[in-house]
Amino acid sequence: MGTETLFDISLTVNGVVREARVPARRLLSDCLRHDLGLTGTHVGCEHGVCGCCTVLLDGEPVRSCLTFAVSVDGHEITTIEGLAAPDGTLSPVQRAFAESHALQCGFCTPGFLCTVTALLRENPSPSDEEILEGISGNLCRCTGYQNIIKAVHRAAEIAAEENGAGVPAGSHRAVTEES
């Protein structure tokens, strides 16, 4: 039996440099969960359909089940574990989802939170249509989408209240890094 070649990679995950030794076909989702112990990123379909595994790659949402870990060597990843402030204060998007009852089982929630964080950073005050388009790659099997849409509007409000009108909503970490 041949031995699989392993590659040393270095990722900045939630602001911290993390190293891993992985085979070429190691998925980013598996690398995060199994190699780095960040199990907040969920894996549902493993086929790029459900959006559960969405993380931010250099600020842009990507499906970590369709991304090879070696292909993002040297890049910056934000997972659900990195959305709250360092003192544990939930981000506007996290608070809005809780307040608006935008989750039930929570399995899809890490993916939604990452997607919505990026969406509001791009568009701090989206319309219903823009929200629907923005979350069209994320499936929720139990909450229904009404409360999720409500939560996105609420997150936009909270971020505007906290940061002043015109400042993009995003994670606390993103705001800190940008300021």
Give rounded-to-5 percent helix, strand, coil for the chain: 40, 15, 45
Of residues 55 and 175, the one with the C-beta less far from ligand FES = 55
Q: Which of residues 5-24 bind ligand FES (CB under 6 A)?
A: none
Q: Which of residues 63-122 bind ligand FES (CB under 6 A)?
A: 63, 65, 103-109
**R_g of the chain, CA atoms, integer Å:** 16
160 belongs to the binding site for ligand FES (CB under 6 A): no
44 belongs to the binding site for ligand FES (CB under 6 A): yes
Burial 80-92 (b: 16+ CB within 10 A, else e): bbbbbeeeeebbb
39 belongs to the binding site for ligand FES (CB under 6 A): no
Among 36, 116, 135, 140, binds ligand FES (CB under 6 A): 140
Query: Strand, helix or coil at 20?
Result: strand
- Least distance from C-beta 140 to ligand FES, angstroms? 3
Q: Kindly state the number of chain residues that form the binding site for ligand FES, as judged by CB under 6 A.
A: 23
Q: Give 23-87 as a DSSP string.
A: ETT-BHHHIIIIIS--TTS--SSSSSSS-TTEEEETTEEEEGGGSBGGGGTT-EEE-GGGSS-TT
Of residues 155 and 160, the one with the C-beta less far from ligand FES = 155
Among 49, 58, 101, 146, binds ligand FES (CB under 6 A): 49
* Residue 149 DSSP label: H
Of residues 38 and 175, the one with the C-beta less far from ligand FES = 38
Among 71, 136, 142, 178, binds ligand FES (CB under 6 A): 142
The total of other beta-carbon atoms located within 10 Å of residue 16's CB is 9
Which residues of the shown chain bind ligand FES in the complex (CB under 6 A)?
43-46, 48-53, 63, 65, 103-109, 140-143
